[in-house]
Amino acid sequence: MKTETKLRVFKDGHNFASAHILPGMGKCERLHGHNYYVTAELCGETDEKGAIIDFNAINPIIAGICNALDHKTLLAEKNDGMTINRKGDSIKISLNDKKYQFPAGDCVLLPVTTTTVEKLSAYILGELLKELTGKLDAIDWIEVGVREGAGQMALARKNIG
C-alpha cells in the first residue's frame, strides 16, 4: 500500500517585502506594500533513502525567488487597467489619472494580470516548478502559499503525478 508523505518548507529567508498597485481594488489601487512569507508543501512517496525530495534542493530555490522580489515594486505586465512603459532606465506607469515613474532596477515586471497574493502564489509555484524540472519524480503535487500579513494566505497547487 502506498503511503503519501507531505513535506512542508517554511524558513527564514523565504520572505520578501515588496510594493504593488492593484488596479480596480479600491484603496489597494494606491501604491502600498507588504511583508510576504512563502511556504511550500510537496506530497509524494518516499524513495529508497526515505525522502520525497532533498531539502537542499528546494530551500535555495525558494530563497532565490524571494530574493528576486525583495524590496522591489511588483508590476503586473498583463493588467489591462494599467499602462506600463519602459524607457531606458525607468518605468512609467499610467493608472486612471495617476502617473508613476520608477527606476527600472527597482521593479519586477511579472507575467500576471495582477499582483494579488493569489497571483503571486501561482507565479512563485511556476518559478519553483521550472527550477525543479527533473527532480519531481516522487512528487504527486506541490503547493505554494504566500502570506501577506497575519491570517491571510493564498495557496496555489499543481498536480504532478
Q: pLDDT (tens digit, 9 = 90+) per residue, 25-38?
A: 889 989 999 999 99
Assess whether 28 carries a catalytic annotation. yes
61 Cβ contact partners less than 8 Å away, ≥ 6 residues apart: 128, 131, 132
Question: Where do the domains of the chain lie, and which CATH numbers do they carry?
Answer: 5-73+114-159 (3.30.479.10)
Give the three-state DSSP class for 135: coil
Assess whether 127 carries a catalytic annotation. no
Share of the chain above pLDDT 90, in %: 77
Buried-exposed string 118-132: b where 16+ CB fall within 10 A, e elsewhere: bbbbbbbbbbbbeeb
Catalytic residue among 28, 29, 41, 45: 28
Over the stretch 87-101, which tens digit does the pLDDT of each residue have?
Answer: 999 999 999 899 999
For 117-127, what is the mean pLDDT? 98
Give the pLDDT band of residue 48 (cuts 50, 70, 90).
confident
Catalytic residue among 66, 71, 107, 143: 71
Residue 138: pLDDT above 70?
Answer: yes
Assess whether 77 carries a catalytic annotation. no
Cα–Cα–Cα angle for 5, 7, 10, nearest 5°? 165
Catalytic residue among 20, 107, 143, 148: 148
